[in-house]
Structure 1
Amino acid sequence: MIIYRKRDYEGFLCSLLLPAESRTSAFALRAFNVELAQIKDSITQKTIGLMRMQFWRKAVEDMYCDNPPHQPVAIELWKAIKRHNLTKRWLLKIIDEREKNLDDRAYRNMEELETYAENTHSALLYLTLEMLDTGIRDIHADHAASHIGKAQGIVTCLRATLYHSKRQKVFLPMDICILHGVSQEDFIRANQEKNVRDVIYNIASQAHIHLEHARSFSKNVPVKAFPAFLYTVALEDYLYKIQKVDFNVFHPSLHKKSTLLPLYLYIRSWKKKY
C-alpha cells in the first residue's frame, strides 16, 4: 500500500475522506489500479505485459470464486469484493483497457482518449460508488462519474506529457496536434510555441467541459455519493495551474506537489460539494 500512496497520492488523499467503512476497500481498489498502471512503464517487451495482465484477469476471476492468489493487493481487493459485492465487469474492463494501452502509440483522437478514460478512471468511480452506503446505484451519480473519469483521464494524459517526452514518446490525441500543425517532435523537444500551447489548451478545455457536465448533475446526485467525486478538487487545481502558465505543459510549477490540496479537499468534503 506504500507504493500506492506514492504513485497515486491524490487518490490516496481522496480515499482518506471516504466513510470509515469504505476506506480500506477504496485503498485496495486504488492499489489494484496502480498495479495495472505501472505494468506499462516496467516492461521492455509487450509479451511480459500481456502475461501480467493475464495474471490479474485470472486473479479477479479467482476472487469471485473465493480463491484469491497469495498477493497482498489481490487479497485486500477480494475482501472489498466480498464486503461490497463489487461488479466484476468493471474490474475486468479496467484490465482489458490497460492491456490495450500497452501499445506504445498516441491516441488517434480525443474520442479514443475519452474511451480509455471511461473504461479505467470512470470504472474506478463506479466501483467506488458501490462501496458507499451499501452501494449507490443512481443514474445521475453514474453520469457524473462518467464525466469526472473522462476529465481525470485527459488531465492524467496532460500531466504525463513531460515524463513521456523525456522518453521520446507522445500520447496526446493526434487529431488535435494535426489541427494546430504540431508534430510529436515538438513535444519531444519541449517546444513552447503558441501552436503547441494551443494543442494543450484544446485538450485541457475538454477536461474542463467534462467537469462542468459532472457538476450540472449535482442537484440530482445523492449527497452520499459526493465523497466518491472529491478527485474533482485535484483536477480543478491542475487546470487552474496550467491556465496560469498559459498552457505551457512543461512548466516546472505543474510538476510540484500541491501542499494546499489536503486543505482544499477537506473544505470541499465539509461543504459536501464536488
Structure 2
Amino acid sequence: MTTDFDHAADIARQFDKDRYLSALLAPEKFRPGLMALYAYSAELARIRELVSEPLPGEVRLQWWRDLLEGTEHGAAASNPVANALLETIAQFQLPRQSLIAMTEARIFDLYNDPMPSLNDLEGYAGETASGLIQLACLVLNDGKDPGTATAAGHAGVAYALTGLMRALPWHAARQQMYLPKDLQERHNLDPATVFKGETTPQLLAVLTELRAHVRHHLERVRAVSGNVPGTCAAAFLPLVLVEPFLQKLEATGFDPLKQSADLSQLKRQWVMWRARRNVFGRL
C-alpha cells in the first residue's frame, strides 16, 4: 500500500532528483522525513509552472502557509505531501517558521520583477535552499540542534546560485531575471539582451562574478565543516555537484543562454556516492 511518505518520495524523485538521491544515501530511518521536506520544497518551486498568472500561485502559497500556521484545512487530509510534512514536523520538532519563510520567498518566482541586489539574492537563496539544508540537518540529528546553521547558510547560497545560473535559459525565455540588478549595473548589462537570447561580454562578466561568489561560499563551508556532525552529511551531499556544474558553466565555448550545464544522471549518482563518507573533502 502506498503511503504519504511514498508519495512524497515520488514527488522528490520527479522534481528534485539530486536531493532525492542524497536522501537515499542517508540512514534509512531518516529517509521518509527527508523525502517529506524535499517534496514540500519541490511543490513550492514548481508552482510558477502550474499557474498561468501570479494570483493563483499566491493562493497556492497561502494554502501552505495556512497549513503550517495551523489554520483548518479540509483538503489537507487528501494531500499526501502535506500529511507527510506535518508528521515530519511533529516527529522532529521542526521550526514551522523556517518552512513558512520558504513560501514567502517563493512569491518572487511568480512575478517578473528584477532581483534588486546580490544581498537580496542571497536572502532568497537562504530562505529557499539554506533553510532546507538546516531542516534536513535537524531531521538527520533526530530533532536536536546540530549547530549547522552557518554551514547550511553558505551551502544553500552556493547551491542555489549555481542552480539559477544553470536555469538562465529557461528564466530568460519567460522574461524572468534572477541576476542581481547591482551586478548588472556594475558590468553594464542590459537585461533586454538577455531576454533576446544574446550572450554579450557584459552577461559573461556578470556570470563570472557570480561564479566567484559561489566559490567564496564553498570556501566558507569548508572553513566551518569541522563543526558539522557526521550525522548531517547527507544534507550537504548535493553540494558536491556545485563545482562540476561550475566547470560546465565556464567551459570554453559554452553559451549560458543556449546550452544546459548538466551532468548525466549516472555521473551525479557516482559523484554523490563517492562523497557520502567525506562530503566536505569532495567540495
TM score, norm. by length of structure 2: 0.88
Q: Compute the displacement of 1:55 (Å).
A: 0.9
Output one character per residue of 1:157-188: Cα deviation in whole Å (capped at 9) or x when no partner: 21221002122332211111121111112212
Q: Compute the displacement of 1:20 (Å).
A: 0.9
Write out aligned runs for 1:42-191 (5 A): 42-62=50-70, 68-139=76-147, 141-191=148-198
Counterpart in the other structure of 2:47: 39
Output one character per residue of 1:16-54: Cα deviation in whole Å (capped at 9) or x when no partner: 111111111111111111111111222222221121111
The answer to whether the 8 Å contact 1:197/1:248 transfers is no
- Give 5+ residue unaligned stretches, structure 1: none
Q: Compute the displacement of 1:56 (Å).
A: 0.8
Report the Cα distance in structure 1 between the residues aligned to 2:204 and 2:263, rounded to whole angstroms.
20
Report the Cα distance in structure 2 between the residues aligned to 1:72 and 1:248, rounded to whole angstroms.
40
Report the Cα distance in structure 1 between the residues aligned to 2:199 and 2:176, rounded to whole angstroms.
17
TM superposition outliers: structure 1 runs of 4+ over 4 Å:
none
- Whichever residue aligns with residue 79 of structure 2, its letter is Q
2:78 match: secondary structure: coil
The answer to whether the 8 Å contact 1:208/1:239 transfers is no
Out of 10, 17, 26, the residue aligned to residue 18 of structure 2 is 10
- Whichever residue aligns with residue 166 of structure 2, its letter is R
- Give 5+ residue unaligned stretches, structure 2: 1-7
Counterpart in the other structure of 1:209: 216
Report the Cα distance in structure 2 between the residues aligned to 1:48 and 1:206, rounded to whole angstroms.
34
1:218 match: secondary structure: helix
Output one character per residue of 1:104-143: Cα deviation in whole Å (capped at 9) or x when no partner: 212111101000111111111111011013234243x210
RMSD over aligned Cα atoms: 2.3
Out of 252, 257, 273, the residue aligned to residue 259 of structure 2 is 252
Output one character per residue of 1:199-244: Cα deviation in whole Å (capped at 9) or x when no partner: 1111111111111101111122222222211111122221121122
Output one character per residue of 1:57-100: Cα deviation in whole Å (capped at 9) or x when no partner: 122233999x9532010011112112211111111111121124
Report the Cα distance in structure 1 between the residues aligned to 2:249 and 2:118, rounded to whole angstroms.
19
Identity of aligned residues (%): 26
CA 1:44–1:272: 2 relative to 1, 3 Å: closer
- Whichever residue aligns with residue 107 of structure 2, its letter is E
Report the Cα distance in structure 2 between the residues aligned to 1:232 and 1:64, rounded to whole angstroms.
37
- Whichever residue aligns with residue 167 of structure 1, its letter is R
CA 1:212–1:247: 2 relative to 1, 3 Å: farther
Report the Cα distance in structure 2 between the residues aligned to 1:247 and 1:196, rounded to whole angstroms.
13
Q: Compute the displacement of 1:149 (Å).
A: 0.8
Paired positions, count: 272
